[in-house]
Amino acid sequence: MQLAKRLFILFIVNLLVITTISIVLGILGVTMGLGANGYDYQTLAIYCLVWGMGGAFISLMLSRIMAKWLMGVEVIDPDTTDPQLSALVATVHKLATAANLPKMPEVGIFNSGEPNAFATGPTRSRALVAVSAGLLQTMNPSQVEAVLAHEITHVANGDMVTMTLLQGVINAIVMFLARVISFFISLNVKESVRPLVRILVTIVLQICLSILGSMVVMWFSRKREYAADAGGASLAGRENMISALEALQRTIQYQDPRQPESMATLKISGKPRGGFMLLFASHPPLEDRIAALQNMQM
């Protein structure tokens, strides 16, 4: 039940975009309001907001393409004659209609023994919902429908766009702080090498601060999982949603090593984490999600 869990998609791709932007701006001599006495902070803030949001939305536009490539998704022809795949497409379309999506999502399947699914895409009209072969093999039709309902809820709630806006704000803050800090650090080196030092320190700080910022993104991701569980329960039935999560809990020890950890935010569940690492977890513990559904007022 991860969605649109895009860490690689919304974090790694995003990080590469803003780092590339920084390098290009440095080479072109674009100073973002930098003068002899430091930055014009208002000008810098505007630049960082524009470029930070730009980086986040570029990664959003690439999300569906990147997910297909990273996960090896094969899009299913809606007119397929395969009975299992045809039933899968029909279920997604039924749930999409119930969730009032403006356009039917693409439906795909990827080759993994790990029981999982994900949803991604730049808008509610350009979404992709995909399931693993392992999910179809280990879950019954009611459980599969509940998983799909969870993913459709992610799409209906616009989670990808909301996360992109959050990522854009974090990008802007990261770019702003990296440049201000690197300016003061560069004052302690020879004037002849200050521009190079500023560029290098800015890049290093952007990477480090982006990792810290990802904790905020993952916090939001965990919150949205509860909302998607509730939406899945509404569309497919609370008992089916609980049953699906319990099935995932029984198989959580299996994680396909061929699937990138960076895709965790796109799926319905992730690897269990504890302690400090919970701050970087895209999903709450399955037992907490099950308890939330059991206590939910219908």
Which residues are catalytically annotated?
Answer: 151
Sheet of 74-75: strands edge to edge? 2-3, 117-120, 128-132, 106-110, 74-75
Residue-wise burial string across 251-270, b where 16 or more C-beta atoms lie within 10 A, e elsewhere: bbeebeeebeebbbbbbbbb
Distance in angstroms (rounded) separating the CA atoms of residues 56 and 167: 6
